[in-house]
Structure 1
Amino acid sequence: MDGILNINKPVGLTSHDVVARVRRLLQQKRVGHAGTLDPLASGVLPVCLGLATRVADYLSESGKAYQAEVMLGVETDTYDREGHIVSTQPVPDLSREQIESVLRSFIGPQLQVPPAYSAVKLQGEPAYRRARAGESLKLEARPVVIERLALLDWQKPRLRLEIECSKGTYIRSLAHDLGQRLGCGAHLSALLRTRSGPLKLQESVTLEELAEALARGDLERYLWPLDIALQHYPALVLDRQTLQRVLHGNSFRAPEPGPRSASPALASGAGEAGPQRGEREGAPLARVCDEQGRTWALAIWVPEKRLWQPTRVFRPEGSS
C-alpha cells in the first residue's frame, strides 16, 4: 500500500508510537512519519506508507500551522510542561497591546536556537540524550521563518497563540524566547498542529477511525497520493518512451526551470533535513509525470549539462 495518512495524533503518544500502531494495524513494514510531534502535542501527523516514505521530507516544505498555549512566569529545562522547573518569576500586568507588540518582533526570517532536549543531532547523537545525561549543551541557531503570530487569548498567566511558520521551527523555543522578551520567562503548556504542508486538521483521521475504516474495507478514503507532497514543484510531462528511460535513472531533456523552481527548504537551509543524495542546495526540482498526470519521479536540474537528472523514482518494487 502506497500513500499518505493524515493522522490526528493524540496527546500522550510519541510520533514513533503512532507509526508503530499504523504498522501493526495495516501489517505493513514501510511506514514512517513526517515532522515529529512531541508527546504533549496533538494534531496533524503525516504518516507515509510504502513508496510515499520517499517523499516524507518534502511534505512540510510549504510550512506548518499551530495553536499554542504558553504559560508565563515559569521556565523549564525542556521549554515545555514536561520538564523540570528552572526558574519562576512574577508575571506583570501586560496589556494585549504590549503582548502583540512583542509578538510582531518575531515575524519574519530569523535565527532560532533549538531546545537542548530536541532531536537535533550532535556528532550523530540526538541532543536530548546528551542533555538527559547531564551534559551542558550549546546548540547552533538555525534559520527559520515565522509568517504569522497572532494572539488568540490572554488570561494571565496564559497566552493562546496562532502560528504559521517554516519547517524546522521549534514552538518550544518560540515560547521560551517570548518569555525572555516579556521579562518573566515562559514555557509551552499545550500545542495543537493544525496544518503540516498541504494536510489540514479538519481532514485528519484518528487512529480509532482508521481502525474502523480498515474493518469496513474503505481505508482508501483516508489515503492521500504521494503526489500531494510534491504539488509545489512544477510538472514535466513526458511521453511513455522518455518516461521509461527516466525510471531506469537516465537523464533527459525537458523545458528548463523557471526562476521559482528551486526548493524553498533546500534554498534557505531552514528545513528539518538537508539536501538528499543527488540534490544540491538550492537546485531546481520538478515532478516527472506521465501524460495522465501521475507522478513517477522527482528530477533535479543540472545546469552544466542542461539536462534533468532523476533523483528519486517512485516505481513499485518488482516492476520493470
Structure 2
Amino acid sequence: MDNSQIDVRNAISGVLVVDKPVGLTSHDVVQIIRKGTNIRRAGHTGTLDPRASGVLVVLIGPAVRLSEYVSASDKRYQAILRLGASTDTYDADGRVTRSRPVEHITEEQFQEVLQRFVGEIEQVPPPFSAVKIKGRKAYEMAREGEEVDLAPRKITVYSLELLEWAPPEAVIDVYCSSGTYVRSLAHDLGEALGCGAHLVGLRRTKSGRFTLRDAVPLRKLKEAFVEGNWYQYLIPAAEALADWPAIELTEAEIDTIRHGHRIPAAPESPAMARGISEMGELVALLALDPATNEWQPKKVFFS
C-alpha cells in the first residue's frame, strides 16, 4: 500500500447504508465493514435484531461522532405479525406463553385497534432486549429466569398502516420515533385485540433520511471490498443529517469555528444546523445561542 492510499484511508469519513440480511447481528455487519475498509472507527446508528433485515446506517471514520444525532432519527418498518399466540420474547424465537383463537377477529376490528397505537404512547421494552437494568442487560436477566421489570418509555408512532390482511398474519407499515420496539408493538396490539400476537418478520425500510433505495446489499458490499472499489458506496458525512438546515460558511468563519469560537447567526435561525464549506463538506454541527444570536460549534469535523 503506497502513502496516497494510507492518506485516503485516514481521511475517509462518511456513511455506508447497508441492507442487512437476516441472521447477522448489527455488530457483525460493523465488524465486516471494519475488516473490509481497514478502518477501525465504525459504528451503526440503531440496532436491528438478527432476524430483522433492512436499512442499517454505519458511520465510518470521524463521522462516528454524528452517531447520537443520526441514531435519534425516525425509523420506518414493514412488520409481519402473527395473531393468536403470545411469546416470551414477543417474536418467533421465543416460547409460546399463551394461545387464543383468532377466527372472530375482522379486518375492521384490527384496523380500529391498530389506530389506537398512533401518537405519543408509553411503551414497555421487551423483557428480552438490550435495555439495561442497574448495569445488566434485560435479556441476560430474562434468560436466567429473573423477573425483568422495565419502565415504560415515551415513544411517538407517526403512522400505522395495514398493508396486507391474511389471518392469522397481518403486514403493517410502522413509521415511528427512534427507540420504538416493533416487537412490543406487536405484543401490545395482540393484548388489545384479546387474541395475543407476536412478530414473525421485520424489515427496516427507512432510517432517518436513508431508505432501502440508498442501501447496498451486504453481499455486494463484500464483493466491493474484495475488488477494492467500495468507495463508490460511501455517502458524504454531511448527507447523514441532510434534513437539518445547512449554513454555508466562509473561509474566515470556518477558521473561527475550527478554533472553537462562535460566529454571528442570521435573524430567526433554527436551533441546530450543519455548518458546510463551499465545497459541501461538513465543517461542524452548530447550536444557536438565542441570548446572543450566535452559532456555538457543538462538534467540529474540519481540521
Other-structure match for 1:299: 286
The alpha-carbon distance between structure 1 residues 51 and 108, as it changes in their structure 2 partners (threshold 3 A), is same
Is 1:289 the counterpart of 2:276 in the alignment? yes
Partner of 1:138: 149
Summarize the alignment of residues 84-123 of structure 1 with structure 2, pairs less than 5 Å apart.
84-123=95-134
Cα pair distance change 1:152/1:112, threshold 3 Å:
same
User: Which of the residues 41, 48, 73 maps onto 2:59?
Assistant: 48
Could you say which residue in structure 2 is the equivalent of 1:271? none
Q: CA deviation at 1:123?
A: 2.5
Other-structure match for 1:188: 199
**Alignment partner, residue 312 of structure 1:** 299
1:31-46 matches, within 5 Å, as 31-46=42-57
Give the equivalent residue in structure 2 for 1:207. Answer: 218
- Give the structure 1 partner of residue 8 of structure 2: none
| 1:125 alignment counterpart | 136
Structure 1 stretches of at least 4 aligned residues deviating more than 4 Å after TM superposition: none
Partner of 2:3: none
Q: Structure 1: which 5+ runs fail to align?
A: 262-283
SS in 1 for 2:186: helix
Residue 231 of structure 1: how far off its partner (Å): 1.8
Alpha-carbon displacement from aligned partner over 1:189-242 (angstroms, at most 9, x marks no partner): 110111111111133112220122233343222111111222222222222122
Deviation at 1:129, TM superposition (A): 2.1
1:129-169 per-residue CA deviation (whole Å, 9 max, x = no partner) reads: 22223221221221211122111222221111111111111
Residues 267-290 of structure 1, C-alpha deviations (whole Å, 9 max, x = no match)? xxxxxxxxxxxxxxxxx2111122
Match runs of 1:10-25 below 5 Å: 10-25=21-36
In 2: Cα distance, 1:203 partner to 1:307 partner? 35
AA aligned to 1:98 is: Q
Q: Is the 8 A contact 1:56 1:229 kept in 2?
A: no
- Residues 118 and 158 of structure 2 are in contact (CA less than 8 Å); yes or no, is this contact kept in structure 1? yes
| Structure 2 runs not aligned, ≥5 long | 1-11
Question: What's 1:149 paired with?
Answer: 160
Q: 1:256 to 1:36 in 2, by over 3 A?
A: farther
The alignment's C-alpha RMSD in Å is: 1.7
Q: Among the aligned pairs, what percent are the same residue?
A: 45
Aligned ranges for residues 117-266 of structure 1 at < 5 Å? 117-258=128-269, 261=270
Partner residue, 2:9: none
Q: Distance in 2 between matches of 1:314 and 1:130?
A: 40
CA shift, 1:257, in A, is: 4.7
Q: How many residues align?
A: 292
2:265/2:293 contact within 8 Å kept: no
**Secondary structure of the corresponding residue to residue 32 of structure 2:** helix
Q: Is the 8 A contact 2:257 2:263 kept in 1?
A: yes
Shift in CA distance, 16/154, structure 1 to aligned 2, threshold 3 Å: same
- Partner of 2:24, secondary structure, is coil
SS of the aligned residue for 1:119 comes to coil
Cα distance in 2 for residues equivalent to 1:120 and 1:301: 33
After TM superposition, give the deviation of residue 23 of structure 1 in Å: 0.9
1:305 Cα deviation after fit = 4.1
User: Structure 1 residues 257, 30: closer, same or farther in 2, change over 3 A?
Assistant: farther
Query: Letter of the aligned partner of 1:293 in structure 2?
Result: G
Give 1:81 shift: 0.9
Offset of residue 251 of structure 1: 2.2
The one-letter code matched in structure 1 to 2:160 is L
TM-score (norm 1): 0.86
Quote the Cα distance in structure 1 between the aligned partners of 2:207 and 2:71: 5
8 A Cα contact 2:13 2:236, kept in partner: yes
